[in-house]
Structure 1
Amino acid sequence: VTNLETNIVSIERIIEYTKTPIEAELFDENNKPNPQWPGSGAIVFNNYSTRYREGLDLVLKNITIDIKANEKVGIVGRTGAGKSSLTLALFRLIEPVDGTISIDGIDIKKLGLYDLRSRITVIPQDPALFTGTLRVNLDPFDQYSDSEIWRAIESAHLKTFVDTLENGLSHQISEGGENLSVGQKQLVCLARALLR
């Protein structure tokens, strides 16, 4: 009976995955933003509503927010209030039922997912780091020069800390960044975001 139950659950899961909606196109050659986009970071949610799946209740309903360029905003609320849903909406991990989100005047629904997701970054409260050097954590695909990395480190106000490390950029980060404070991990993630 146990194997039969396990197999039934597996089949149900497979059926569920076959019904999963396909994401939008990664690239849209007709709607490519200029290479410097987003330049200022103004974000506008205009009457935005979304749900996690067809048939479920709306998780965001008629949200209108106007975040000006360079404005700092904190989003707070109880569990289930929609804080994480705003982030998922920005990355188009959930699509709108109604309304729009624009960044620097461009409706993000018109962009290919790669152009959108490769140009914005979220730094979570408890950021993830990987086992490896500080340099690898900052530049996992080895795309940037040391001088570019140091500029990002300085911009993230991480230079004083890195200067104290015996091995500098070669400093070993332990699993999950356990050998760094939460603040240091956030600054490493900020420097990584600034490199992009």
Structure 2
Amino acid sequence: MRYPLLFLVVAAASAFGQQTNQRSSMIFAPGAKEPTVVNTPAPTPTQQAAPSGKVFSPDDILNAFFLALKADQVDAAYDALVRNTIIAERQKDVDGLKAKTKEAIDGYGPISGYEVVDEREVGTVLMRRTCISLNSDLPLRWRFYFYKTQGEWRLVDLRIDDGLVELFEDSARPRR
């Protein structure tokens, strides 16, 4: 079953979305089926780190995203993924991603995890991570594009499809 999943969220330079005085954080306890939501003060534009002082890496961002998808928390996964990015300002696009992801999970089966299958960097501030989600029936290809600004990696673009053949073609091409 092939779904027309290729879609582009936003290709833009990183920027802060509008912020409020509160934000919700998801905490996944070991073995929990649903996250616990904790309201914390939103960071000011000068705060680039998590409340613990840790700056989130692409690994942190992807781990949290796929953990939420694994827990069947698609809305929460995307809300956390796009937080503090220009993508969050395009709510219609985010809602479309959520709907298409739910449709894909229905068609390809629940997600049990993910693997990073490729990482490419352009200079020191642009990175693309290609992942496959480990769905029960067939995997999906996810391409996350990150931009490092003010010492923090931010998602600036996301593309999802079921183009598995292209993964093999990409791996056969020599890297520059």
Q: TM-score normalized by structure 2?
A: 0.28
- Select the structure that is richer in strand: 2
Which of the two has greater helix per residue? 1
Largest Rg, 1 or 2? 1
Scaled by the length of structure 1, the TM-score of the pair is 0.26
